[in-house]
Structure 1
Amino acid sequence: MNQQQFDKIKNGEGFIAALDQSGGSTPKALAAYGVPEDSYSGEDEMFKLVHDMRTRIITSPAFSSDKILGAILFEQTMDRQIEGKYTGDYLSEIGVVPFLKVDKGLADKENGVQLMKPIHDLDDTLRRANERHIFGTKMRSVVHEPNEEGIKAVVDQQFEIGKRIIEAGLVPIIEPEVDIDSSDKVKCEDMLKEEILKHLNELSEDQNVMLKLTIPTKANLYKELIDHPRVVRVVALSGGYSRDEANEKLKENDGLIASFSRALASDLNAKQSDDEFNDKLQSAVDSIHDASVNKK
């Protein structure tokens, strides 16, 4: 593990950019960027276009390590290059810590939750992540209902895989997202917090994790997690909220920083001039950084 990167993620002022849209969500991400599905054919062309989009974001002067601590990448992004360097190396050179999405998507809903699909090639992925100088990983599950059995299964699965990631020398971002449209979001979050705490308290001193959580309805609900000695950082997903709404909710939570995807890139368009693109991205970066650092 790179200690300098560890210290930046743990103590730095800023946020983490989520640039990890994968196979199923890539067409939506491109469409939002002004590239409709009928303008390309096949996965190869689709993934080249989304890499071009990510390259434009990452090489923009607005994408600065002064305000962005890290970036989460999709596996194909990790294996592609920016200006002749693998994406992780390029990010590290500009002072942004690289993470990799390692999950394979969500299983069908059961007991009010969606577990992760099996990650059959995890060991190989982690080996390649180390070769590509990746610092940490991210994996996502979803909680829809306050079902005790389901929430326990989600957290059990996340920490079981998280420990394998730690053994590989990487820092896992554990992401049990609570659906913002849940019928009882508050109860889901209360139950999720208690289940996460149980697992955190069982970790040894050399086992450290990050958490990526939906911004809680009750402000500062996750303060105990943020302050836990085994937690490097707690970051928040935008979860379908608009950027303005996500920023306002984020400001109410001390120590919680952003890890936004759609909320970061929502104003960007392939047809924008470089100046317009950079201005829009700078505005988004500034507002998300402000919400992550300046609390009410």
Structure 2
Amino acid sequence: MTDRIDEMIETAAAMVSSGRGVLAIDESTGTCQKRFDTIGVDCTEDNRRDYRHMLLSADGLGEYISGAILFDETIRQKAPDGTSLVKIMQDADIIPGIKVDKGAKDLAGFPGEKVTEGLDGLRERLHEYYDMGARFAKWRAVITISENNPSQTCIEANSHALARYAALCQEAGLVPIVEPEVLMDGSHDIATAYEVTELTLKSLFSQLYEHNVILEACILKSSMVVSGSDCPEQADAEEVAEATLSCFFNTVPAALAGIVFLSGGQSEIEATEHLNVMNQMGQLPWPLSFSYGRALQASALKVWGDNPKNNVKAAQAELLHRARMNSLATLGQYDEQAEQG
């Protein structure tokens, strides 16, 4: 077990190594359908494979991307030439990861709230994924802000599930990414988002401690503390950075391997700008990086969708640009000149 612990600590450090972040391409088939509908491409298994192969085979991607979170279908797929997508990633120095939760379902007795399912049979699935080449996993919980929510029950139920998942991951030799996403949907202000995020993270790390999760081999995937999407007064980048870091200082142990952000509905530019400002605010106890889905893929998806057969290189160029911009943001070196260049 000691060798596995050392391997996980090494993997976690590599995932948040200087200038690199995690690409999230773990969309479910239903979510992928919605994305493909926007570009007029049929959501077939072959098209999903071709799209994700396009992303993962971008030349030089490993310079900016340390790992990629895959969907169950993707980790089993091969490129048209017969090479497994996992092998393509490994050859590019990109660590394969896997989404293992079964989605957020209605929390019985608490209207409007969700709890993530997928613990049944998880131990066996994690060992299978390790044998297939995965070295980290991800589990997402959803916390909704409204007039009456979230309840403490919802926060605690999701924190407990995240901790059980994380402990099972480490038993199997996989680094757990724990993702408690506080949704930005709603009219709440940034102060409310701060309060809910703080409550959620305190509950999460208490549960991780209770379940003997090794924090040096664990990654937090967090939402930023932002104003609700329908809030009349939107906090600027400086306010978002200050609120987010203040919340982390009050809740996240320094022993944690690192923090990666989800974009959570932010635009590509917003997600990069917010990350950059945080990394300009001085020395931090943990690396701050990114694990974006749409905020890395949106431009590449649009270009690829215009002509999936002929636009592969152009779409890869879009992905590489966004990956490089976010790489600069992890170093606090992003600016408008780099964006235009």
The one of 235, 239, 254 aligned to 1:228: 254
Count of aligned positions: 286
Deviations 1:100-130 (A, max 9, x none): 0001111025366321123433233212211
**Deviation (angstroms), 1:9:** 1.9
For 1:169 and 1:258, how far apart are their aligned partners in 2? 23
**Deviation (angstroms), 1:99:** 0.7
The one of 275, 278, 281 aligned to 2:319: 281
Give runs of aligned pairs for residues 100-249 of structure 1, distance below 5 A: 100-108=98-106, 110=110, 113-145=113-145, 146-182=150-186, 183=188, 184-202=192-210, 204=212, 206=214, 208-217=217-226, 218-220=243-245, 221-223=247-249, 228-229=254-255, 231-249=256-274
For 1:89 and 1:131, how far apart are their aligned partners in 2? 13
Using structure 1 for the length normalisation, give the TM-score. Answer: 0.87
For 2:158 and 2:213, how far apart are their aligned partners in 1? 23
For 2:13 and 2:154, how far apart are their aligned partners in 1? 34
Match of 2:288 in 1: 256
User: AA paired with 2:202?
Assistant: E
Partner secondary structure for residue 93 of structure 2: coil
Distance 1:117 1:7, change over 3 A: closer
For 1:129 and 1:80, how far apart are their aligned partners in 2? 13
For 1:226 and 1:148, how far apart are their aligned partners in 2? 19
Q: Tell me whether 1:65 sits opposite 2:99 in the alignment.
A: no
**Deviation (angstroms), 1:203:** 5.5
Distance 1:71 1:224, change over 3 A: farther
Q: Tell me whether 1:25 sits opposite 2:31 in the alignment.
A: yes
For 2:139 and 2:46, how far apart are their aligned partners in 1? 23
Match of 1:98 in 2: 96
Deviations 1:196-240 (A, max 9, x none): 2323444548563211110123131224666531x2221110001
**Deviation (angstroms), 1:253:** 2.6
Match of 1:43 in 2: none
Q: Tell me whether 1:291 sits opposite 2:333 in the alignment.
A: no
User: AA paired with 1:134?
Assistant: A
For 1:101 and 1:205, how far apart are their aligned partners in 2? 19
For 1:238 and 1:125, how far apart are their aligned partners in 2? 28
Distance 1:205 1:55, change over 3 A: closer
Q: Given that residues 139 and 165 in structure 2 are in contact (C-alpha distance below 8 angstroms), is that contact kept between their aligned partners in structure 1?
A: no
The unaligned stretches of length 5 or more in structure 1 are 41-45
- Would you tell me which structure has more helix in proportion to its own residues? 2
For 1:295 and 1:116, how far apart are their aligned partners in 2? 37
Distance 1:240 1:68, change over 3 A: same
For 1:96 and 1:287, how far apart are their aligned partners in 2? 18
Distance 1:104 1:113, change over 3 A: same
The one of 295, 299, 302 aligned to 1:267: 299
What is the percent sequence identity of the aligned residues?
A: 22
**Deviation (angstroms), 1:138:** 0.4
The unaligned stretches of length 5 or more in structure 2 are 227-242, 280-286, 335-341
Deviations 1:142-168 (A, max 9, x none): 000342221111111110121111111
Using structure 2 for the length normalisation, give the TM-score. Answer: 0.76
- Work out which of the two has the higher radius of gyration on C-alpha atoms and give 1 or 2: 2
